[in-house]
Structure 1
Amino acid sequence: MAAFITRRALSRRTLLRGAGVAIALPLLESMVPAMSATPRPRPRFGAIYVPHGATLSRWTPKEDGRDFTFSEILQPLAPFRAHINVVSNLGHPLAYGPGGATGNHNRSTASFLSGAKAASGAQPRLGITVDQVAVKTLGQDTPLPSLELMTEDSSLSCGEGLSCAYRNTLAWQGELSPLPMQNNPQAVFEQLFGDGADDSQRAARRAQALSLLDSVSEQVRGINRALPAADRQRLDRFLTDVREIERRITQAGERVDGDVELPTRPNGIPDDIEQHIKLMYDLMALAWQTEITRISTFLMAKELSNAVYPKSGIRDSFHILSHHSNNDDNKARFAVLNRYHIGLLAYFLDRLSKLPDGDGSLLDHSLVLYGSGMSDGNSHNHDPLPILLAGHAAGALQGNRHLRQAQLTPMSNLLLSVLDRLGCREERFGDSTGSLPI
């Protein structure tokens, strides 16, 4: 990259290129042609799935409409009130089916973004998911059409005659095309910022304790000479964030106890589950900030997950605690875990709110769908679901509302409305019967 780049010449697709490195930049003022209006940012969309439902009596706000009181579980989202919509009484009728509890868990994930019924048998068959419909509008001019993330390993045995694909991914390109999800932050980081040209270059960089940014430092200095002060500060903050995330990933993959390596953990996966989730949220934010992609799905935990979250204060495993046996104490402890997960979502929203994007923040220009395909983990039912939206979708969505729907309103009606707010015009989606006035 030549050092004489002018404001007019700096493309939105400018890349910092080095040995095994290709780093997209955030939106800078210098990328907007002189004397022209700031273009309206394209919305970003993310769907985040948590299994096993929630303690709905402690999730659902009591008041409807604007200025509702945040419930016990949702309280961590109070600082983002203006960006929050809680949507109640949605259900996924096609998630019900024959068999026992395991089948209901598998179908919960399958139906969540598809509004379709999971077919029995070894051959998975479902339907396109809402994120992949959005890709047709928002993902055709980005380096990655979409980004699929998870924190756990894929299940290999899922029971009740259902393919493991239903439990292992949220994203389907079509009825026969489940997309794999990545649980290794190191692999995601390389996917976003490495050019994939030479594995040995990346290995050598790690061996020498070099940052990926070291190979582009001269190029950064050249670009900085052509940038106004505000853009230099924005670029510096961005590169600082990249370096910090890289440091955390590297630290997660380092050796422990002298020369003894963790044999069961691929390089880059933290042992601390909270740090793992936060890394994935940070990587999603970076991907959106640079518009490497505008579409993401995140399987924060799989159905039937027995993960334990020590920092929540709850020592029971996730799935076991969801089987509360209608015991009030168990329900209360499960609500603590639900609130803890909402606190991690708040971490992500805070991150988005602090990242400038055009004439607002990344949170202003995003639409985040968060929830579960199961209502009550003890009953294994699929209505009413714990669902909320965050963000303004680049001005297309209001906030500060509890939108209570009629009982048994199809979740697909919300998914159809989400597509509309993202600028994706569809007549119907999944088993929708209409759209919702969101």
Structure 2
Amino acid sequence: MDPTPRVVFVRLFGDMGSTDPAARNARLRRQSSILDSVLDKVRHLHGDLGHRDQRKIDEYVDSVREIERRIQNAEADGRALPLVDSPAGIPVDYDEHARLMFDMQALAFQTDSTRVITFQIGREQSGATYPQIGVSDSHHPISHHGGDPQKIASLQRINAYHVSLLGYFLDKLAATDDGDGSVLDNVAILYGSAISEGNRHDSRNLPLLLAGGAGGRLAGGRHLRYPRRTQRLTNLQLTLLNLLGVPAEKFGDSTGERLGELAGVARATTG
């Protein structure tokens, strides 16, 4: 995952075919916005569309401009207050950084610029702290809590904070129109961790959250539990691959077993 909003933005929505700083600066001198190169075409297209499609075009243009404005503000802050190990364009505030990255992911799905995204919310071994939620220690040492109630409470606050950021993303997807439903109705979001208990580095019995409708192929609103040591995360990932139109017989160390056939993760579709 690239943590720099500017680089992600350019990869998704274009620039001059290069993410080189010199090329970007040359483009910025000639254009006030990345959209300037296509606005004439957008205006022409706008007149040929129905009201609903015009609204989607307007939403797209407004979203891209808003994200670019926030990136430019972050870069300006970086020049005024240079930070060690913080490249220009990364917001100083982690909450703003995470939400900006989520906004770009939502826009990428909305515009079908990509259909696969991997994003790491947690700071894990970075050494960064969470002052915005009152946690002064970094994530990794807190996860090795040794049964200390104070550290466990801090770890719970971090987990709740991460889930709140995910909630922001899901709410945004749910509020974005996508034909006969929302973007959330047509995607599958798998949220979780490779470790269930950091204190012991235990990777068994992982808590996972699966959101989205996958175009009507996933039924939500349920809590599924599997007996310990009876299923693998890669079996769930294999199930999702096939549900999302990627035929596969095996993924990683999966056994080839598809959870949808076992526990009703997938719901039947008609048509």
User: TM-score scaled by structure 2?
Assistant: 0.87
2:44 corresponds in structure 1 to 222
State how far apart, in whole Å, the 2-side matches of 1:401 and 1:264 are.
Answer: 42
Say if 2:122 and 2:162, in contact at 8 Å, map to a contact too.
no
State how far apart, in whole Å, the 2-side matches of 1:257 and 1:359 are.
Answer: 44
2:268 corresponds in structure 1 to none
- Between Structure 1 and Structure 2, how many residues are aligned? 257
Say if 1:274 and 1:309, in contact at 8 Å, map to a contact too.
no
Aligned equivalent of 1:419, options 237, 241, 249? 241
State how far apart, in whole Å, the 1-side matches of 2:220 and 2:33 are.
Answer: 40
Asked if 1:381 corresponds to 2:202, the answer is: yes
Secondary structure of the residue aligned to 1:389 is strand
- Residue 197 of structure 1, CA deviation: 3.8
- Residue 394 of structure 1, CA deviation: 0.7
Write the mapping of 1:213-292 to structure 2, written as runs, cut at 5 A.
Answer: 213-255=35-77, 261-262=82-83, 264-292=85-113
Moved more, 391-400 or 278-287: 278-287
Cα deviation per residue 1:100-147 (whole Å; 9 max; x = unaligned)?
A: xxxxxxxxxxxxxxxxxxxxxxxxxxxxxxxxxxxxxxxxxxxxxxxx
- Structure 1 or 2: larger strand share? 1
Asked if 1:342 corresponds to 2:163, the answer is: yes
State how far apart, in whole Å, the 2-side matches of 1:378 and 1:358 are.
Answer: 45
State how far apart, in whole Å, the 1-side matches of 2:9 and 2:50 are.
Answer: 29
1:404 corresponds in structure 2 to 225
Write the mapping of 1:326-337 to structure 2, written as runs, cut at 5 A.
Answer: 326-337=147-158
State how far apart, in whole Å, the 2-side matches of 1:361 and 1:335 are.
Answer: 31
Secondary structure of the residue aligned to 1:280 is helix
Moved more, 207-216 or 291-300: 207-216
Cα root mean square deviation, aligned: 2.1
Letter in 2 for 1:370: Y
Say if 1:365 and 1:391, in contact at 8 Å, map to a contact too.
yes
The answer for unaligned runs of 5 or more in structure 1 is 1-148, 150-181
1:367 corresponds in structure 2 to 188
Letter in 2 for 1:435: R
Secondary structure of the residue aligned to 1:308 is coil
Letter in 2 for 1:414: L
Q: 1:257 to 1:362 in 2, by over 3 A?
A: closer
Q: 1:385 to 1:197 in 2, by over 3 A?
A: closer
Letter in 2 for 1:415: Q
Q: 1:210 to 1:356 in 2, by over 3 A?
A: same
- Residue 399 of structure 1, CA deviation: 0.3
State how far apart, in whole Å, the 1-side matches of 2:207 and 2:110 are.
Answer: 28
Q: 1:321 to 1:356 in 2, by over 3 A?
A: same
State how far apart, in whole Å, the 2-side matches of 1:396 and 1:354 are.
Answer: 20
Asked if 1:186 corresponds to 2:9, the answer is: no
The answer for unaligned runs of 5 or more in structure 2 is 266-271
2:269 corresponds in structure 1 to none
State how far apart, in whole Å, the 2-side matches of 1:265 and 1:391 are.
Answer: 34
Q: 1:206 to 1:254 in 2, by over 3 A?
A: farther
Q: 1:432 to 1:202 in 2, by over 3 A?
A: closer
Cα deviation per residue 1:25-66 (whole Å; 9 max; x = unaligned)?
A: xxxxxxxxxxxxxxxxxxxxxxxxxxxxxxxxxxxxxxxxxx
Q: 1:282 to 1:289 in 2, by over 3 A?
A: same
Secondary structure of the residue aligned to 1:293 is coil
Secondary structure of the residue aligned to 2:160 is helix
Letter in 1 for 2:7: A
Say if 1:255 and 1:262, in contact at 8 Å, map to a contact too.
no
Q: 1:256 to 1:331 in 2, by over 3 A?
A: closer
- Residue 262 of structure 1, CA deviation: 4.3
Cα deviation per residue 1:133-166 (whole Å; 9 max; x = unaligned)?
A: xxxxxxxxxxxxxxxx3xxxxxxxxxxxxxxxxx
Q: Runs of at least 4 residues of structure 1 off by over 6 A?
A: none
User: TM-score scaled by structure 1?
Assistant: 0.55
Letter in 1 for 2:70: R
- Structure 1 or 2: larger helix share? 2
Say if 1:269 and 1:276, in contact at 8 Å, map to a contact too.
yes
1:64 corresponds in structure 2 to none
Q: 1:306 to 1:262 in 2, by over 3 A?
A: closer
Cα deviation per residue 1:264-306 (whole Å; 9 max; x = unaligned)?
A: 4322111111111112111111111111110111122364232
State how far apart, in whole Å, the 1-side matches of 2:10 and 2:228 are.
Answer: 45
State how far apart, in whole Å, the 1-side matches of 2:37 and 2:235 are.
Answer: 48
- Identity, % of aligned pairs? 44
Write the mapping of 1:62-101 to structure 2, written as runs, cut at 5 A.
Answer: none
Q: Which one scores higher on RCO, CA 8 angstroms, separation ≥ 6?
A: 1
Secondary structure of the residue aligned to 1:369 is strand
State how far apart, in whole Å, the 1-side matches of 2:40 and 2:247 are.
Answer: 45
